[in-house]
Amino acid sequence: MFFLSNPTFAIFIIFAFLGIQNLQAAVKIEITNDSNEETIWANDTELHVKNMSSPVYTLINTTQRKLYTVDLDQKVIIDLSEKIKEKLSISEVNDISIEFVHHGAGPVMLGFDTDLYLLKVNGEICRTEYLSQSAKELNVFIAGLELMTEYRISTTFSNLPSDLDLCFVADHLSFQRYSQYGFPMKSSDQYGKVTFELLSINTASSNPPGNFKVPVARNN
């Protein structure tokens, strides 16, 4: 599933490390997101999200609250910014209770300590999360995730059916807790299938020219 449809990686997945001041450099992470491989570059306020099997990529500016998708093959640029709503609480979307239950220390992942949490919705276990407080400084990734989720809420979560799977809802709204509990390093669904994993972090990646710039549309 592409980044727009899965916040866990989406997690997964949008931060620049504190102390990075050279805007020509970028943090680069590689993830698996519902079996898709994605690469994300980020500076202090901007993100470039690339699904490695698709010509489409996403550009995010967290301070300007801008969101674009760019299709290189079709030469199409779509501005999704107007569909981003102000932050909604979970209670405004559905009458559900989401909680992260701590289950002790997890393994060290990519050099970061983790803690094991169970994501529960109305008491039902929906996801297993390995979160890292020591990676919390990757705040631009969470900020970008919030914008993506606000877009999804605007386009997907209006007029929710009463029988909608609550784990599905939680998967799209749990971003509200990552800033509190830590950066998601690995996630599994209620059946044990890995849905997201952070594969690599490069805090001094070279930033391709124009990587965060919205292309100028040209008429043929």
pLDDT tens for the chain, residues 1 to 220: 344 555 444 433 343 333 333 445 788 889 988 888 999 998 888 999 998 888 899 999 988 889 999 998 888 999 988 776 655 554 455 567 788 899 999 999 999 999 999 999 888 899 999 999 887 556 667 777 777 767 766 666 555 555 667 787 776 666 667 777 888 899 999 999 998 899 998 887 887 888 899 887 655 4
Amino acid at 56: V
Q: Which domains does the chain have, with CATH numbers?
A: 3-84+94-206 (2.50.20)
**Structure tokens that stand for 198 in this block:** 């952070």
CB 96 within 8 A of CB 121: yes
pTM (2 decimals)?
0.76
- Nearest 10 degrees: CA dihedral of 198, 204, 205, 206? 170
CB-count burial class (<10 Å; 0-12, 13-18, 19+) for 114: buried
Q: How far apart are CA 214 and CA 32, in angstroms?
A: 25
Angle at 113 between CA 60 and CA 169, to 5 degrees: 50
- Nearest 10 degrees: CA dihedral of 213, 214, 215, 219? -160
